[in-house]
Homo-oligomer: A and B are copies of this chain.
């Protein structure tokens, strides 16, 4: 209610800032080690050591080793979700997702692109981590389903279309990422092309005679 409750933006206090720095340090150290020597070959103790904390503290910031990589993934999902919220209100179901994905892609800078590629490579060669990511995506889907249902004014438990559209969209987007990371070139244009191709071929793929 009060005006001054203030989100933790301006001066969250020393403690909060320190926590944020520790968390960032852990993610950075983790990703660097994952890229350098592989996910499986990196221990949680090493990650903690590189961030100058104990292993015990590592597990106070992350529920598991997987969550370090998933944290990066979460950042990308956040910008996508915002892109969805920014789409015009009466756009058709699947178009919202398709266009939001392209909007989100258009804002990618080089650094984010490289991080995505790192993540894709780590995911590809570690089954356990890939499994964790798939589950994480399932959680993300729920948020989108609710938003899409809200736009249509329907109950997502009764009206299945938001759920089905989101699920189909995720699988197509995942296919696009797979093509891109497996391909020869890894520039932003190639990612955009893969996205368009997969999203636009999805409908014919399920409707063709």
Complex Cα distance, B134 from A130, in Å, reads 9
A165 and B205 contact, CB distance less than 8 A: yes
- Offer 9 A-B interface pairs, CB within 8 angstroms, sorted by A: A93-B205, A94-B207, A131-B134, A160-B175, A164-B172, A164-B202, A167-B174, A203-B207, A207-B207
Instruction: Answer yes or no: A50 CB below 8 A from chain B CBs.
Output: no
Q: A119-141: which have CB < 8 Å to B?
A: 127, 130-132, 134-135, 138
Quote the shortest CB–CB distance from A13 to chain B (angstroms). 33
A134-B138, A160-B175, A164-B198 given; name 4 further pairs at CB < 8 Å.
Answer: A160-B201, A160-B205, A164-B205, A168-B172
A93: chain B residues within 8 A (beta carbon): 205-206, 208
Complex Cα distance, B169 from A155, in Å, reads 23
How many residues does chain A have at the interface if contact means C-beta atoms less than 8 Å apart?
Answer: 36
B165 and A206 contact, CB distance less than 8 A: yes
Contact of A171 among B164, B203, B207, B209 (CB under 8 A): B164
Chain A 183-205 interface mask (CB, 8 Å, partner B; 1/0):
00000000000000110011111
A164: chain B residues within 8 A (beta carbon): 171-172, 175, 198, 201-202, 205-206
Instruction: Answer yes or no: A23 CB below 8 A from chain B CBs.
Output: no
Instruction: Answer yes or no: A170 CB below 8 A from chain B CBs.
Output: yes
